[in-house]
């Protein structure tokens, strides 16, 4: 595909969102922006190439009729949703080479969103979990065959770990894989009702293979959970003898994905069907453990980073919708007057509305930007894992991905709901896209690791660091170096206009460090009179608080650092204010931590509150342009309320008239 690389052409293509017939209110907002939109979009997406690729993929999808929807997807039943998603998924995959989608982290999710929408599909886990599992866990000499079959869709796979009775507690999974040395086979079995696999996407109707997590038994001994490649259906797509499989029924969202259940009845697979890149079972049943206990984390970390990136983009899209709609809402008949007799104003002018919208917009930026850099780190670590090389970064990356997953998915789900509420009654309609966004986002709080469990994994990492610091011989990872710094007695925070980035970082690090050591000391005290697990449980709420604060400190530090790399002065000024709003809003929400022990004085806390209000007023004139900086097309947004032209009310009526109830 020929690519236009002229900066001037790109400038006109991306900056000119203003067209004849647009709502005058939204046009006025765009004309009043203080920064060049194209420059800001290049900063958000790191370079103009990524921005240009977004446009190329959009134009490709819009020009191919096989991606069209004859019937609006909101008005389809579940069978029709699955058929639509499957049809589009196959068309999407068949056109991968034509559009040259090779960027798995940025371009592939955009291509899927433009093609199918927010609904997952029958191949979501095939590409998201099954293929990465083959890549990470298959021996080099054997990887080519299974990977080629999976990549070409000769086999369709899923990842079967969660059970009816066990999810995040991996060590207690009940499905068994018992090695039979006489036949050189593993016997896969579901010993209890609660051991049935439950939730794997694509399992219900689509997948004919699965990467199955099961408790390995060999030579009469348990060796813990291991992965196995298991064929589920025959060439006619019927379940094989010993396999019971089906769909688990409708869910809160993602109903185009056939999540399923799976039960085994002494089902036999060849010995070589165990993923044996790291741990092995020899023909005689001898077990060879992995060289490093954390080697299984590589694929999981990458999947979580992809998930966090997708979740954050949902919050960004929700902020775009709510901000644009707040600029045009009832523009013909405004909602009310601030000063009597001076005329009705835009909803966006109300401070309470700004307080609902702009902190959520601020939350959407640091996560998405940092995920790109962490994705590069993850690829590096995965390469090291594959070569059995340096493993030092793995615990750090695992802890960070777990913490980001827990904090960001929670904030995204809560943020989308707050933004929905800011749109009044129309936010309740599926035409707004908020119901679909929320259903998509809230699931992320539980799948790929339940959030509280994820926070406790981060806390375990932090307690280990605290112990090393107290011992006087710390070997600190990059993200934990601040924990060894000297204690700070008072906060440096002041007026938002005068306090520096270093002041903000100092206060976040000091508060988090104090929280970590207070939790460590309490845990240590409890362990003197309790068993370790009992003490951990008694201290678990504080452990989660420390983990959350650690992740938020990381996000604040990196948001501020990222803003400093912005080369365009006007964009940097606005984004710096947004970054400070993000930090001040976190301080306001966590005031108890900051004011404990008099670290943050009441006067300073009042300055934080006043600073938030002043920053809302400062950002208000650029709010629509900041929403536009996400460069989200109407096809990607899929929202009547957030459409580019702002002509919401005629579009709402047009959407409603497509309802089948209006056809008779």
46 CB-near residues (< 8 Å, 6+ apart) = 369, 372
Nearest of 491, 495, 485 to residue 508 by alpha carbon? 491
Q: What are phi and psi of 174, to 5 degrees?
A: -105, -20
CA 248 to chain centre: 24
DSSP H or E run through 187: strand 185-189
DSSP code per residue over 4-36: ---HHHHHHHHH----TT--HHHHHHHHT-SS-
Q: Which of 119, 163, 411, 448 is catalytic?
A: 448
Burial class (CB in 10 A: 0-12, 13-18, 19+), 384: middle
Candidates 318, 297, 315; CA nearest to 449 is 297
Of residues 369, 359, 419, 366, the one with CA closest to residue 582: 359
DSSP symbols for 464-508: HHHHHHHHT-----GGGGGGGSPP-SS-----TTT--HHHHHHHH
Q: Say whether 448 is catalytic.
A: yes
- Specify the pairing of strand 209-218 against strand 221-231: antiparallel
Distance CA 312, CA 372 (A): 12
Q: Is 201 annotated as a binding residue?
A: yes
d(CA 328, CA 585): 26
For the chain, the helix, strand and coil percentages under 3-state DSSP, each to the nearest 5: 60, 10, 35
The string over 130-147, giving b where at least 16 C-beta atoms fall within 10 Å of a residue's C-beta and e elsewhere, is bbbbbbbbbeeeeeeebe
Instruction: Give the C-alpha separation, 491 to 439, whole Å.
Output: 40
**Tokens 């490093």 correspond to what residue?**
292
Q: Cα separation of 232 and 210, whole Å?
A: 7
Q: Name the strand (E) or helix (H) holding 247.
A: strand 243-247
The answer to whether the beta carbons of residues 272 and 227 sit under 8 Å apart is no
* Phi, psi torsion values for 354, nearest 5 degrees: -60, -40
Q: Which residues are annotated as a binding site for FAD?
A: 162, 201
List residues forming the annotated binding site.
162, 201
Q: Catalytic positions, please?
A: 448
């Amino acid at each position: 595909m020929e690519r236009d690389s002229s900066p001037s052409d790109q400038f006109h293509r991306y900056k000119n969102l203003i067209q004849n017939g647009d709502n005058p209110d939204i046009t006025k907002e765009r004309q009043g922006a203080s920064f060049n939109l194209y420059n800001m979009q290049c900063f958000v997406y790191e370079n103009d190439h990524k921005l240009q690729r977004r446009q190329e993929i959009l134009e490709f999808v819009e020009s191919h009729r096989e991606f069209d929807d004859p019937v609006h997807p909101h008005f389809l039943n579940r069978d029709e949703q699955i058929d639509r998603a499957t049809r589009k998924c196959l068309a999407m995959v068949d056109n991968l080479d034509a559009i040259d989608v090779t960027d798995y982290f940025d371009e592939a999710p955009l291509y899927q969103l433009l093609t199918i929408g927010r609904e997952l599909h029958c191949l979501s886990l095939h590409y998201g979990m099954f293929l990465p599992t083959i890549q990470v866990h298959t021996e080099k000499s054997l990887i080519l065959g299974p990977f080629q079959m999976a990549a070409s869709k000769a086999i369709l796979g899923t990842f079967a770990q969660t059970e009816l009775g066990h999810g995040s507690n991996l060590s207690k999974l009940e499905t068994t894989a018992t090695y039979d040395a006489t036949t050189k086979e593993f016997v896969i079995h579901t010993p209890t009702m609660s051991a049935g696999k439950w939730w794997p996407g694509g399992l219900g109707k689509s997948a004919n293979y699965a990467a199955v997590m099961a408790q390995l038994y060999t030579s009469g001994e348990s060796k813990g959970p291991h992965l196995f490649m298991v064929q589920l259906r025959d060439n006619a797509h019927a379940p094989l003898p010993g396999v019971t499989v089906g769909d688990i029924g409708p869910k809160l969202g993602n109903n185009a994905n056939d999540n399923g259940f799976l039960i085994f009845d002494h089902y036999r697979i060849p010995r070589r069907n165990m993923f044996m890149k790291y741990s092995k079972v020899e023909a005689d049943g001898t077990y060879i453990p992995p060289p490093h206990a954390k080697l299984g984390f590589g694929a999981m970390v990458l999947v979580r980073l992809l998930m966090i990136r997708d979740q954050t983009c949902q919050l960004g899209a929700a902020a775009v919708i709510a901000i644009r709609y707040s600029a045009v809402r009832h523009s013909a008949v405004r909602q009310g007057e601030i000063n009597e007799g001076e005329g009705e104003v835009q909803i966006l002018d109300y401070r309470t509305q700004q307080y609902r919208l702009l902190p959520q917009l601020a939350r959407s930026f640091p996560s998405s930007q940092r995920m790109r850099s962490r994705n590069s780190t993850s690829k590096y670590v995965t390469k090291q894992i594959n070569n059995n090389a340096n493993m030092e970064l793995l615990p750090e990356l695992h802890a960070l991905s777990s913490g980001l997953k827990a904090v960001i998915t929670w904030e995204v789900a809560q943020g989308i709901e707050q933004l929905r509420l800011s749109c009044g009654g129309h936010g309740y309609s599926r035409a707004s896209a908020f119901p679909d966004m929320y259903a998509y986002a809230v699931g992320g709080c539980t799948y790929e690791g339940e959030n509280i469990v994820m926070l406790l994994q981060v806390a375990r990492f932090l307690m280990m660091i605290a112990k090393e610091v107290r011992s006087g011989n710390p070997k600190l990872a990059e993200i934990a170096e601040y924990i060894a710094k000297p204690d700070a007695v008072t906060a440096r925070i002041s007026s938002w206009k005068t306090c520096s980035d270093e002041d903000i970082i100092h206060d976040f690090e000091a508060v988090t460090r104090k929280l970590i050591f207070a939790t460590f000391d309490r845990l240590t005290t409890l362990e003197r009179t309790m068993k370790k697990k009992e003490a951990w449980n008694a201290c678990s709420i504080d452990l989660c608080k420390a983990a959350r604060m650690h992740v938020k400190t990381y996000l604040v530090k990196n948001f501020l650092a990222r803003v400093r790399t912005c080369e365009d002065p006007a964009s940097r000024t606005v984004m710096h204010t947004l970054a400070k709003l993000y930090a001040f809003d976190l301080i306001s929400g966590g005031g108890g931590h900051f004011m404990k022990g008099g670290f943050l004085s009441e006067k300073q806390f009042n300055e934080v509150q006043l600073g938030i209000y002043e920053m809302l007023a400062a950002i208000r004139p650029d709010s629509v342009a900041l929403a536009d900086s996400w460069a989200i097309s109407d096809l990607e947004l899929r929202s009547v309320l957030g459409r580019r032209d702002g002509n919401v009310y005629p579009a709402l009526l047009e959407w409603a008239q497509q309802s089948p109830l209006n056809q008779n």
